Structure 1
Amino acid sequence: MFIEKLMVAYMDHKANHIYYLDRTEQVILLDAIEPDGRPNLEFLDADEPERFIEIPKVMNVESFSWMVEFESHHQNSELLHALNEDEPFERFTEKVIKLDLLEKWQTFQKDKVKTRIEHWLAEKELLEMQKQPD
């Protein structure tokens, strides 16, 4: 369940949301950006700067590469065409729904996000948190 929560934070596209992993408590914290564009960060502890790690967000280039890979598995000209249109993320989603591939796309995307989060945990030497219960 902990991995799923990290996955949600990773996929949150809201620009004013910043997620942090509290290494000590092993919980995920959400910080909202102030109106002046600065993070709120009330929970950060200056005495323990290593305690909180910002959770990365998915980048558009990464999401786009997943769409390209998904299309290559399905070899569908409509999906390929959607990737080359204006607003490819929206067009791709529309085509996936139209072609009744939404469940396959969501499973594919979830697997990609899970792998990315597992790599991130390994990079940060936090693999023990993968086994963290809810």
Structure 2
Amino acid sequence: MFIQKLMVAYMDDAANHIYYLDKNEQVILLDAIESGGLPNLEFLDTDEPDRFIEVPKVMSVETFSWMVEFESQNQNHELLLALNKNNPFEVFTDTIDQLDLTEKWHAFQQDKVRQRIENWLTEFNIHELEKQLD
């Protein structure tokens, strides 16, 4: 359940959302940027600067590389054409739907996101928390 929440935070592409992992409480906190463009950060504890870690967000280049890898695994000419269009993200998604590959794509993407989150946890040496994620 917890890893699912991290995955959702990672995939949230809203520009005004910043997620933090509270290592002590083992919860994910959302800090919505205020209208003036400044984060709230009310929950950050200056006495424990290492307690909160910002959860990374998926980058479009990463998503595009997943799309390329998915096409490569499926060897589908229509997906390859979609990747070379002006709006490849939109066209790829439409093509996935048309080819009835939506479930397969979502499973592939979820696996990539899970791998990324697990690597991120390892980068920050959060091993004891990782064990609780399964």
TM above 0.5, yes or no, is yes
Q: Which residue of 2 aligns with 1:27?
A: 27
Coordinate RMSD, CA, aligned: 1.2
Partner in structure 1 of residue 95 of structure 2: 95
The share of aligned pairs that are identical, in percent, is 69
Runs of 4 or more off by more than 6 Å in structure 1?
none
Pairing 1:12–2:15 present: no
Unaligned runs of 5+ in 1: none
Q: CA deviation at 1:85?
A: 0.7
Indicate if the aligned counterparts of 2:9 and 2:57 stay in contact, CA closer than 8 A: yes
**Structure 2 residue matching 1:132: 3-state secondary structure:** helix
Write the distance in 2 (CA, Å) between the matches of 1:131 and 1:17.
27
Asked if residue 78 in structure 1 is aligned to residue 78 in structure 2, the reply is yes
Which runs of no fewer than 5 residues in structure 2 stay unpaired? none
CA distance in 1, matches of 2:14, 2:132: 26
Partner of 2:132: 132
Q: Is the 8 A contact 1:118 1:127 kept in 2?
A: no
Asked if 1 retains the 8 angstrom alpha-carbon contact of 2:3 and 2:133, the reply is: no
**Partner of residue 67, structure 1:** 67
Separation in structure 1 between the aligned mates of residue 106 and residue 43 of structure 2, nearest angstrom: 34
> Cα distance, 1:132 vs. partner?
2.5
Q: CA deviation at 1:21?
A: 0.2
So what's the TM-score if we normalise by structure 1? 0.96
Residues 20 and 28, structure 1, Cα contact 8 Å, conserved in 2? yes
User: How many pairs are equivalent?
Assistant: 134
